[in-house]
Copies of this chain bind each other. A is one copy, B any other.
Amino acid sequence: MKIYINLKEFQEIIKMEMQLAKGVRDILPKEKIVMNRVLDTLRQAFELYGFVPLETPIIERWETLTAKGGVGEESDALKETFKLKDQGNRDLALRFDLTVPLARYVAINPQLKLPFKRYEMGPVFRDGPIKLGRYRQFWQCDIDTIGVKGMLAEAELLALVQNAFQKLGVDILIKVNNRKLLNGILEQCGIKKKESAIVTIDKLEKIGAKGVTEELLQRGYGSEQIEKVLRLLREKRTLKELKKEVNYEEGKQGLGELEELFGYLKTMKVKCVEFEASLARGLGYYTGTVFEVFAVGSSVISSIAGGGRYDQMVGKFAGGNREIPAVGVALGLSTILDVIKAKREFKEKSLANAYVIPIQTVKESLRLVQKLRQKGINADMDLNGKSIGKNLEYASALGIPYCIILGGDEVKQRKVLLRNMQTGKQELLGIIGVIRRLKKK
């Protein structure tokens, strides 16, 4: 059987085939240029604080990612995990975060020297519903300290977070709380199903006391208990105030940890921190400190980083009964890029500082462009023999700041014509003059 199809239809089919997969996207040069700068800055900050890079694979065994003690079977992350098989029919999955792979790494490397301070930056995958700004593949940047029980690890991480965002030029506020304090308060108020209550309480700032009360009532919690909890966790509570009111052991322990942490942060001059009694963070595996980072004075209101202490997960993964303390922070790269974008648009389409236009001077132009590159100047050149007009248009579209026009006359004079693309000003300069001018930029 033959199928008759007209050319236009055929082209439509071809075009359709060429679409992106649903929920993923290309990171265009103008965005990737900024993203690379951000990643470089972060890496530099991480390494300044003694963290080393690790790269775990994107494909993990399905059993690893679904192991108990990790995110748990209830987690959205797990429901949204991409499954696949290899040619040996083995069940595999694309990693949905960088924490479970880290726990797996520590588990299979028992000889690892602790503390192990590592960072990992790379794409993770979630087969979730597509919302504005939510993609099925997105970058995470994680920093974790494995093997430190005390608050010094948290203090170091938060100092690093402050330093990293300072370098990125982003003002931040870090809200800090402690799960032990939260658990103690819930216990004290007679609340039993704590995990589920915590998920609702975490929304306090978003939906207010009324919203939280309604949701907790719906979830079957008693109104008396709810009232007690909300009184203790109301806005702007200070550690000092709570110290008088918290009387369960776990709560006291959490308070003690917070006081210790704030002491270290003061010594380390980390000033952008604030205690927030209702902060919980959704994930079940946190065991102590939790924190969330927000950009101050930005139109982006969602958090740009967050993390906390998870002292049980890694140990469970390692299969033994020993506790392997851990604390980490995940930076949301795309939200950070949104914050930077809100300040100034991404528009760099080229990293070249100069674009050489030969006019029947290919050889001389090749030598010139090579000379510039030798001097460390990012340089590009017309390779298509286009007209001057077309070339200027191209360089302008790409945002290249300078064009260098090289005709036969210039070659004879041992000069080149340097055109400032912003002002349109042209100068006849020797090669040394050009290099000096371009290096200054």
List A residues at the B interface (Cβ < 8 Å): 11, 14-29, 32-33, 35-36, 43, 47-50, 52-61, 63-64, 67, 80, 82-84, 86-88, 90, 92, 94, 104-105, 107-108, 113, 115, 117-118, 123, 125, 127, 136-137, 145, 147-150, 152-153, 155-156, 159, 163, 264, 267-269, 317-320, 349-352, 355, 362-363, 366-367, 370, 373, 376-381, 383-385, 394, 397-398
A-B contact pairs, 10 of them (CB 8 A): A11-B319, A17-B67, A19-B64, A20-B57, A21-B90, A24-B57, A33-B53, A50-B350, A50-B379, A156-B381
Q: Which of B29, B123, B362 contacts A53 (CB 8 A)?
A: B29
Known: A16-B63, A17-B64, A22-B90. 7 other contacts (CB 8 A): A11-B319, A19-B64, A27-B54, A48-B377, A48-B378, A49-B380, A50-B381
* Chain B, Cβ-Cβ closest to A118: B29
Q: How far is the CA of A276 from the CA of B275 in the complex (A)?
A: 69
Q: A113-B394, A113-B397, A352-B50 are contacts. A92–B21 as well, Cβ < 8 Å?
A: yes
Instruction: Given A32-B53, A52-B33, A57-B26, verify A18-B319 contact (CB < 8 Å).
Output: yes
A366, B268: Cβ atoms under 8 Å?
yes
Majority secondary structure of chain A interface residues (helix, strand, loop or mixed): mixed
Contact, CB under 8 Å: B370 / A159: yes
Contact of A63 among B17, B53, B383 (CB under 8 A): B17
- Which residues of B have CB within 8 Å of A16? 63
Q: Is B136 a contact partner of A86 (Cβ separation < 8 A)?
A: yes
A136 to B88, CA, bound (A): 13
A319, closest chain B residue (CB):
B14
User: In the complex, are the beta carbons of B67 and A52 less than 8 A apart?
Assistant: no
Interface centre among A52, A87, A376, A379 (most CB of B within 10 A): A52
By the criterion CB–CB under 8 Å, are A59 and B24 in contact? Answer: yes
Residues in B whose Cβ lies below 8 Å from that of A264 = 362, 366
Query: Do the beta carbons of A58 and B383 come within 8 Å of each other?
Result: no
Q: What distance in Å separates the Cβ of A394 from its nearest Cβ neighbour in chain B? A: 6
Which residues in B have their C-beta under 8 angstroms from that of A117? 380
Q: For residue A54, which residues in chain B have a CB less than 8 angstroms away from its CB? A: 26-29, 32
